[in-house]
Structure 1
Amino acid sequence: MLDGRPLIDVHLHPARRASLKLDWATWMQGFTPPAGLYDEAGDVRPAAFDAYLESEGVDAAVALAEYSPRVTGWQTAEDMAALAAANPRRVYFAANVNPHLHYPVADELERQLALGAVALKIHPVHAGFPADDQAMYPAYEICQSAGIPLVIHFGTSTFPGALNRFADPALLDRVLSDFRTLNIVLAHGGRGWWYDAAAFLALADPRVWIELSGLPPSRLQTYYAKHNWARLTRRMIFATDWPGIPGIAANARAVAALCPDEETASRVLAGNAMEIYHLKPAL
């Protein structure tokens, strides 16, 4: 709990230093981890990670697997499952599949779901494929049938090798049309060139959600200035893109202060995530 409210962060990257392609300083982006959070090899200690989240007021967190050797490297589902095992009521994780690496993608997604994944995160910009790639459709069908969300990196990336053309919102049109009951979470909320597109999609379609990872709270109202703020905030899900942030609690307090009322703040900080990701933290 943070200031009497439940808090869920659905976008964290507790990466292993040895499997990162990026250099450590670029990855950390100025974040100074508390003593003991990482071991000597640069791996997050599961119990320390759980304690850190508790200290930030986080009731549930979703760590992200990522198979993007082109840009960021490898953060496996097994890595994330090991973190979740330290406290399954607080730490969850999202699967990741890459059609250039996994075939059939459905088999790999089923394998990661069996490890305990609660969502599928895809990373077209880092992995180098369009979101409407037909090779991904079997994975989307699994998500729709299982009732788990599809999380899509929806914004620019400045990391070397990123292909930002694959974040074009037009690529979502066919997916939304072909999967009529699939919840889609727009990670990074259209960061860079597509804030208006993200807002339009979230306001027009009740299956689409804006996820706030990597967006400074102080800039949110500027990013979405063309849209009804009171309506749009109800379509938002709190997230940070940890570790490159000032702090989870600091971001959460800043986001809550922007919400038009207490009900909306509670939905943004936890309620929407609990509904869409089916999380059951120990509150």
Structure 2
Amino acid sequence: MIVDAHVHVAHLARLKVSWETWIGPAGDAGAWAALYDDDGAPIPERVSGYFAGEGVDRVLLFCEYSPKATGWQTVEDMLPIVEHDPERFRIVANVNPHVHHPVARELDRQLDHGAVALKIHPVHAGIAPNDRELYPAYARCAERGIPVIVHTGPSFFPGATSRHGDPVLMDDVMRDFPELVVVLAHGGRGWSYDVAASLALTRENLWLDLAGLPPKRLPTYYAAFGVERIAAKAIFGTDSPAASPSRNVAAIRDLGLPEHLTDAVLGGNAARVFPGLRG
């Protein structure tokens, strides 16, 4: 089973950034443009067909409430895609204390829509991930067995606050919620690979997702730890539309990892971390 655990299928009318900025230099703008109608809404059957054609069996779709940075991508925007292909797609919730109060009530609302995880985007939301405003959401996730995905590393979108992407800030959260399952999105991208890797390798319930990281560069990014050790705690993701799933899957296979670790990265670890992917 191939799992892309980090995908953004935005409603274009609600994006704050330009199409070119959102797609990024490595994205396939032509393929993605064909997935939308004239109003900027994703066409569910085309989105499903795209990921099927890319060989992806399960996809985690991210919503995001970040008016200072990327704009509004509501959980409701994701529902038609899931309804069209409920086997392939799952929703990831998002809360922003600057927008949602109380955050636990909003989280419950999105979980009731079928979300299988919570994404915190401190860099785009403008709040540190260890801010006590987020603690009610973490507490709810701990109670309900919901994994938390946290953006790490910088973002170059206008309005981003990159200092909030330091993964060491999650050390406080893990201390206060030791039962919480946490995924560090982008694996500490940029200036904090070593911190993210150290956290993942010393905490059983903390993982890395590889979204936005060129697979062929992973041995360099994590040279201090060894790519095989990292693979044991890593979850495949593309940050699509910023990268091609099929090309990145092929690049993971080209790393020469033992077969069991390749399988773990491409789907096994995600199935372990996100119970909602099973079945």
- TM bracket (short chain): over 0.9
Instruction: Tell me the residue number matched to 1:28.
Output: 23
Distance in 1 between residues matched to 2:30 and 2:206, nearest whole Å = 33
The answer as to whether partners of 1:237 and 1:272 remain within 8 angstroms in 2 is yes
How much does 1:37 deviate?
Answer: 1.4
* Secondary structure in structure 1 of the residue aligned to 2:50: helix
Partner residue in 2 for 1:275:
272
The 2-side partners of 1:146 and 1:22 are apart by 34
- The answer as to whether partners of 2:153 and 2:167 remain within 8 angstroms in 1 is no
Are 1:206 and 2:243 matched, yes or no?
A: no
Encode CA deviations 1:64-106: one digit per residue, 9 max, x unaligned.
Answer: 0100000000000111122211111101110000001100000
One-letter code of the match for 1:275? R
Q: Structure 2: which 5+ runs fail to align?
A: none
Runs of 4+ in 1 over 2 A off after TM superposition: 30-36, 279-282
In 2, Cα distance between equivalents of 1:238 and 1:57? 13
Q: Which residue of 2 aligns with 1:266?
A: 263
Q: Are 1:236 and 2:234 counterparts?
A: yes
Residues 1:184 and 1:259: Cα distance change in structure 2 (over 3 Å): farther
1:59–1:281 CA contact under 8 A, matched in 2: no
Counterpart CA distance in 2 for 1:24 and 1:36 is: 13
Residue 18 of structure 1: aligned partner: 13
What amino acid is the match of 2:15? L
Matched, 1:72 2:70: yes
| Alpha-carbon separation, structure 2, partners of 1:257 and 1:145 | 40
Letter matched to residue 275 of structure 2: H
Give the conservation status (yes or no) of the 8 Å contact 1:71–1:162: yes
Q: What are the superposed Cα offsets for residues 23-51 of structure 1, whole Å, 9 maximum, x if unpaired? A: 11111124224374111122211111111
Q: SS of the counterpart of 1:186? A: strand
Aligned Cα root-mean-square deviation (Å) = 1.3
Query: Do 1:256 and 1:269's aligned partners in 2 also have CA atoms closer than 8 Å?
Result: no
Change (3 A) 1:147 1:281: closer
Question: Secondary structure at 1:74's aligned position in 2?
Answer: strand
> 1:174-227, CA deviations, whole angstroms, 9 ceiling, x for partnerless residues?
100011111100001101110000110111111111100010112111111111
Gaps of 5+ in 1: 1-5
Whether the aligned pair in 1 keeps the contact of 2:3 and 2:270 (CA below 8 Å) is yes
CA contact (8 A) 1:62 1:92 kept: yes
Residues 8 and 270, structure 1, Cα contact 8 Å, conserved in 2:
yes
Counterpart check, 1:50 vs 2:45:
no
* TM-aligned CA deviation for residue 229 of structure 1: 2.2
For the 8 Å contact 1:13–1:243, the answer to whether it is kept is yes
Aligned with 1:221 (options 197, 207, 219) = 219
**SS of aligned partner of 2:59:** strand
Residue deviations 1:127-186 (CA, integer Å, cap 9, x gap) = 000111111111101111111110000111111111011012231111000111111000
Are 1:83 and 2:78 an aligned pair?
no
SS of the counterpart of 1:156?
coil
The equivalent residue for 1:164 is 162
CA-CA distance at 1:253 after TM superposition? 1.3
- Measure the CA separation in 2 of the matches of 1:259 and 1:210: 19
Q: Kindly tell me the number of residue pairs found equivalent between the two proteins.
A: 276
8 A contact 2:218–2:227 mirrored in 1: no
Query: What TM-score, normalized to structure 2?
Result: 0.96
Say which structure is richer in helix.
2
Instruction: For residue 126 of structure 1, report the CA deviation from its aligned partner.
Output: 0.4
**Are the equivalent residues in 1 in contact too, given 2:90–2:277 (CA < 8 A)?**
no
Change in CA separation of 1:237 and 1:123 when aligned onto 2, cut-off 3 Å: same
Counterpart position of 1:3: none
Query: Deviation of residue 257 (structure 1)?
Result: 2.2
Q: Which residue of 1 aligns with 2:128?
A: 130
Work out the CA distance in 2 between the residues paired with 1:79 and 1:258. Answer: 36
Structure 2 CA distance for aligned equivalents of residues 280 and 93 of structure 1: 10
Is the CA contact 2:166–2:188 (under 8 Å) kept in the aligned structure 1?
no
- What are the residue-to-residue correspondences of 1:56-205 with 2, within 5 Å? 56-205=54-203
